């Protein structure tokens, strides 16, 4: 059963997202900058905060297979089997659907989607009802911050809402595995 603090943090993060704000939050991998994936103007803010080149797409967190299908123009027919076989957080690169903010789509028309196993990130996405942008909480070209304490104080101050949940967790995290789903359902590893 979730604690009151956990529920309050989920509620506060979702409220910030509904007010079209940028949040700093823990995921099943590293700490991330996030916003509603259907709001191009707010997505632009994340790119500006990170000083990220526009052609570099961001990962989107989705709550389940149905939400995955909402953002993927092509859903792998073996998606349930792929998800069941995961041994670590895995992002699937697939053709993007029109519902994704255009500034999140890679030049080749794809988007990266992941169903988070982390209870907090999963609850936020589920409650939001939209995909959530998930990009590492660091400026472009700088090392990925594996813990909250490693995030630049300037970046912490620049976002609209900072989640308090798991800030004291010093267990180093790593980015997700990234795979491209090929037309036959096979996987091509892009990042191990």
pTM: 0.94
Tokens representing 82 are 């792929």
- Whole-angstrom distance, CA of residue 99 vs CA of residue 102: 9
Residues listed for the chain: 192
Judged against a pLDDT cut of 90, whether residue 57 lies above it is answered with no
- Whole-angstrom distance, CA of residue 67 vs CA of residue 188: 23
- Whole-angstrom distance, CA of residue 104 vs CA of residue 57: 5
Q: Is 125 helix (H, G, I), strand (E, B) or coil?
A: helix
The domains located in the chain, with CATH, are 4-191 (3.90.870.10)
Q: Which tens digits make up the pLDDT trace of 117-174?
A: 999 999 999 999 999 999 999 999 899 988 999 999 999 999 999 999 999 999 878 8
How much is the pLDDT for 52? 92
Please give the average per-residue pLDDT across 87-97, as a whole number: 95
Please give the average per-residue pLDDT across 53-61, as a whole number: 91
Judged against a pLDDT cut of 90, whether residue 37 lies above it is answered with yes
């Amino acid at each position: 059963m979730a604690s009151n603090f956990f529920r309050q943090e989920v509620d506060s993060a979702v409220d910030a997202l509904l007010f079209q704000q940028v949040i700093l939050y823990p995921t099943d991998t590293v700490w991330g900058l996030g916003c509603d994936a259907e709001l191009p103007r707010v997505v632009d803010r994340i790119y500006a905060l990170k000083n990220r080149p526009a052609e570099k797409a961001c990962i989107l967190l989705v709550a389940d297979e149905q939400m995955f299908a909402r953002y993927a123009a092509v859903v792998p027919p073996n998606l349930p089997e792929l998800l069941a076989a995961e041994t670590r957080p895995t992002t699937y690169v697939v053709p993007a659907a029109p519902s994704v903010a255009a500034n999140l789509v890679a030049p080749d028309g794809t988007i990266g989607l992941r169903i988070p196993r982390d209870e907090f990130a999963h609850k936020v996405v589920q409650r939001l009802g939209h995909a959530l942008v998930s990009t590492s909480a660091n400026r472009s070209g700088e090392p990925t911050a594996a813990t909250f304490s490693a995030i630049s104080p300037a970046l912490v101050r620049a976002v609209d809402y900072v989640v308090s949940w798991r800030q004291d967790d010093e267990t180093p995290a790593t980015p997700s595995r990234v795979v491209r789903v090929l037309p036959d359902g096979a996987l091509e590893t892009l990042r191990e």
